[in-house]
Amino acid sequence: MNKVITDQIEVELPFRGFYNTLHEGCLDIATEALTEDMNEEDQYAFNDRIKWQEVFKEYALEYASNISDMLNIQIDFTEITSPKEYNFYTDRIFGMASKVDMLKIKNEVEEDPEWSNYIKNNFTSYDGFWSNYSDNCKDQEWSRNDIDPVQWSSVIEFYLKSKIGSEFEYQATPEDVYELILSNSSEKGGN
């Protein structure tokens, strides 16, 4: 029996998080629409019953699936992480992808003349921002094949922006968000 072994790597997906973004706005609009006919007390009670962590997780799962479709490769959602405070970073979505598929994308990105400008614009330190990465795409930190999940996020974001345009980010439809919220609310209260 022949066994096919695929090397999987962890990637972080380009995601702006929920706090103060179009994603939070989408959730807010859906929640307001679901509660518009309720009095204020019932609105608060409904909001308390929503299991927000489950809503975020299902939203992230759909987001990962959408990015996977746009890249035309398989990315399996693994987790969403959320900070206790949003001072230094935001919600992050992670998945597993084929190393071969990701290296094909990375090689195509590295051939694009705008890649060096993207790295310089996003990773040059300045007052108030200290980059943990080189701002030179020719640096070994960027040119090696075993880059970290944050770097993969940059590769994916650049690739999608160059192929699809600046506004590639998935945003759920109101109907999808209504369903997410309704399916993740309980009688006793949420999280």
What is the mean predicted confidence (pLDDT) over 42-57? Answer: 92
- What is the distance between the alpha carbons of residues 191 and 189, in angstroms, rounded to a whole number? 7
Q: What is the pLDDT of residues 172-191, one digit of tens each?
A: 777 788 888 889 887 544 55
pLDDT, residue 22, reads 81
pLDDT-based confidence at residue 170 (cuts at 50, 70, 90): low
Q: Taking the mean position of all CA atoms in its chain, how far away is CA 59?
A: 10
**Cα distances (Å, whole numbers) of residue 83 to 6, 25, 88, 90:** 32, 19, 9, 6
The average pLDDT across 38-52 equals 92
Does residue 155 lie in a domain region? yes
pLDDT for residue 42: 92
**Is 188 part of any domain?**
no
pTM: 0.85
Assess if residue 1 is contained within a domain.
Answer: no
In a domain, 106, yes or no: yes
The answer to whether position 184 is within a domain reads no
pLDDT tens profile 126-167: 998 899 999 999 999 999 999 999 999 999 999 999 988 766
- 190: in domain: no
**Average pLDDT of 38-54?**
92
Q: Per the structure, how many domains does the chain have? A: 1
Q: Is residue 187 part of a domain?
A: no
Is 144 inside any structural domain?
Answer: yes
On the 0-12 / 13-18 / 19+ scale of CB atoms within 10 A, 47 is middle
**Amino acid sitting at position 64:** A
The residue segments making up the domain with residue 170 are: 8-179
Q: Taking 70 as the threshold, does the pLDDT of residue 78 lie above it?
A: yes
Q: Which residues pair with 9 in a beta bridge?
A: 97
- State the pLDDT confidence band at 83, using cuts at 50, 70 and 90: confident
